[in-house]
Amino acid sequence: MRILMILENTFPPDIRVEKEIKSLIAAGHEIVLACSSPASKDEAKDWNSATIIRKKMPRFIYKSSVGCLQFQFYFNYWRKYLKFVFKQYKFDAIHLHDLPLAKVAKEFSIKYQIPFVLDLHENWPAAMKIAVHTNTILGKTFSSNIQWQYYERKNVLQADKIITVVEEMKERISQPELHDNDIYVLPNTISLDDSIFEESTIKNKRLTLFYAGGINIHRGLQIVLQALIE
């Protein structure tokens, strides 16, 4: 099976996406990942037996993503990009990372009659509610938390299968129309193949804390640091 993965960022790195690609390839599938961001370059390269198609995103389009539910600039950019990708390959399934492009992914799923898997890396409406960029004057004008909640409820019903990171997330998005076996829980875990835990990296006997994941305000790391001080 040839699977199209869609990621709204440059790749690599992304630990979760990396592990999913490796697992799917090990299971005998072919992976093509389409990604785009201002940091990307226009290129296609191999990565661990997967094909990574990168496209540099104009800064204006990137900035417009905050209002993607009200204005179509961002969605139209991805529609054009994915149309190009579908001209290059024939796919058997779509695997979308995170919520925002669910509407666009479903359109291609319907057009090409292939299943659509929605991989929810986090509680997107909650993340947008406390994100720095959505709490500016412009952010509050163009990004509505109520709209994101509605968008999520609508699009989880549009997906053929859903992946979440924790059981609590599964319970939160569950609806009467969703069957329990349509939602899978795949926790974020550290790859033991990596060498970050080699004993030689520990220089002394002082307490060493390790954190793996993104660094932004809604991760709550500032609370941990403040607690250590106190």
pLDDT digits over 97-109, tens only?
Answer: 999 999 999 999 9
The whole-angstrom separation of Cα 230 and Cα 52 is 46
199-224 burial string, b = 16+ CB within 10 Å, else e? eeeeeeeeeeeeeeeeeeeeeeeeee
Instruction: Tell me the whole-structure pTM to 2 decimals.
Output: 0.86
Instruction: Please answer whether residues 21 and 95 qualify as being in contact, where contact means their C-beta atoms are separated by less than 8 angstroms.
Output: no
Domains of the chain: 2-190 (3.40.50.2000)
Tens of pLDDT, residue by residue over 52-91, are 999 999 999 999 999 999 999 999 999 999 999 999 999 9
The whole-angstrom separation of Cα 111 and Cα 114 is 8
Residue type, 210: F
Mean of per-residue pLDDT scores for the chain: 89
Check residue 136 and give its pLDDT. Answer: 79
